[in-house]
Amino acid sequence: MIREIAIKASAPQSGFQQVLDAWEQPDTKIVVMRAAEPVAAVREFYEAHFGSIGTPCPLGEDVTIGGREAQRSGQIWMEVRYDPRFPDAYRHSANAQPLHTDGSYIPDFPNATLMACVANSGTGGETTFIDAEDLVAVLRQEDPGLLDTLSSRTLPHARSGDHADEKVIDLRADGVWLNWNYFCVDPAIDSAGRELAEKFHRFLQCSPGVKAHTHGVKLTPGDAVTWKDRRVLHGRNSFVATQDSERFLWKCAIDVGQFAN
């Protein structure tokens, strides 16, 4: 599921080609780019090499703009940065973040998310992942009825004026596709849908199988990670931080392997 590739800042093209090659493999869901050399300006470095990675999309959000329904900035990058001024915003808190997909409420969300690390020195803070195929296997074993419901009805998600109504688990011919974020489930959902969302949320938090199949990736400065958003759920372990920006990553939505003409 996870492939790690070394990226040399002084000669990165070979590494980025390996990223694209790995991306084409169906069993590769997550690609970790490990900085083999120091990267002086992390965001600028990866932005300068979008032409070797894929096409970014301006879906950035900024908590300082407004409430959850009005945070779209129109920028490519957004901060995932510890800032104690915003304890209730996952992007800026030290709390564990539940498993989810990023594009749950955006129908045309790109095929991936990319995060690049500026700082991550505190204890914890790993980005966590579970493969869609593993999740389905766990559900089949622990709660097949829940799997049947999640894969047979849609569950609407909404935020910032966007709305998507898809199955949480879509069992397609080319594999399992996911669409889920507990905190973005449409508030106007019917009672059966709300009950389903609460049940799946509890399952992800309490399932022994989910815990056993969840993998953590700890980024260090200069590293980056990109993942197939609909083919995994991702979250974050809690971490210990005493200073502003002690954990700091730049994040963007991107179509990996797809390039504008």
Confidence of residue 88 (pLDDT cuts 50, 70, 90): confident
> Distance between CA 93 and CA 141 in Å, rounded?
34
Contact yes or no for 224/34 (Cβ under 8 A): no
pLDDT at 46: 98
Contact yes or no for 133/28 (Cβ under 8 A): no
Tokens 């505190």 identify what position?
Answer: 122
Buried b (16+ CB within 10 A) or exposed e, 128-167: bbbbbbbbbebbeeebeebbebbeeeebbbbbbebebebb
Q: What are the structure tokens assigned to 100, written together?
A: 């989810």
Confidence of residue 147 (pLDDT cuts 50, 70, 90): very high
pLDDT at 70: 65
pLDDT at 261: 67
pLDDT at 161: 87
- Quote the pTM value: 0.95
pLDDT(62) > 90: no
H or E stretch including 176?
strand 175-178
pLDDT at 67: 66
Confidence of residue 63 (pLDDT cuts 50, 70, 90): confident
| Mean pLDDT score across all residues of the chain | 95
